[in-house]
């Protein structure tokens, strides 16, 4: 399992997952209003927190995407990506168990674009695995060119 700590694997996963989060945030940052309808359609939350979530979530996706893609505080970005993806998978899983098809709100703000919730869960699982690998299997601290650990 040492390969899970490979710095190049983490760079690749960070770039790939970071790009996904940045792409997901794009339309929602421009106009978060349709996201309110999408979140409401999940039928999981009372009306009160829906507006703040619709405003906050795209900014969080942007920060997480930037963190993962640039490598700046990548492990913190991986923590938030894991947390967000866990929430998305749970919300989708609940609606899948209910037999509801939902507008995901992942990459589109169209409330009419519905999908089978189980397919969305299956799509999110590889991203969740990538985020958890970056979170729990961080590469060791960098060493100097001479092979000695960096000191003071």
CA distances from 114 to 11, 103, 119, 134, 141 (A): 33, 4, 11, 31, 44
Burial class (CB in 10 A: 0-12, 13-18, 19+), 92: buried
- Token pair of 99, please? 């037999």
75 domain-assigned: yes
Query: Is residue 43 one of the residues assigned to a domain?
Result: yes
Residue 146 in any domain: the answer is no
Task: Read off the pLDDT band of 111 (50, 70, 90).
Answer: low
Instruction: Record the pTM.
Output: 0.86
Range of the domain at 105: 2-135
In a domain, 12, yes or no: yes
In a domain, 147, yes or no: no
| Mean pLDDT computed over 87-107 | 86
Least confident interval from 38-47, 85-94, 97-106, 111-120:
111-120
If one counts the domains in the chain, the total is 1
User: Is residue 127 in a domain?
Assistant: yes
């Amino acid at each position: 399992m040492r390969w899970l700590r490979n710095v190049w694997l983490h760079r690749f996963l960070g770039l790939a997952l970071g790009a996904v989060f940045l792409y997901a945030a794009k339309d929602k940052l421009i106009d978060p209003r349709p996201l309110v309808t999408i979140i409401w359609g999940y039928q999981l939350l009372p009306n009160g927190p829906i507006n703040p979530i619709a405003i906050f979530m795209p900014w969080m996706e942007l920060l997480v995407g930037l963190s993962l893609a640039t490598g700046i505080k990548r492990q913190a970005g991986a923590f938030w990506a894991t947390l967000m993806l866990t929430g998305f998978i749970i919300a989708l899983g609940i609606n899948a168990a209910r037999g509801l098809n939902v507008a995901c709100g992942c990459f589109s703000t169209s409330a009419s674009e519905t999908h089978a919730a189980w397919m969305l869960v299956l799509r999110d699982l590889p991203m969740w695995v990538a985020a958890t690998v970056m979170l729990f299997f961080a590469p060791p601290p960098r060493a100097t060119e001479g092979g000695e650990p960096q000191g003071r």
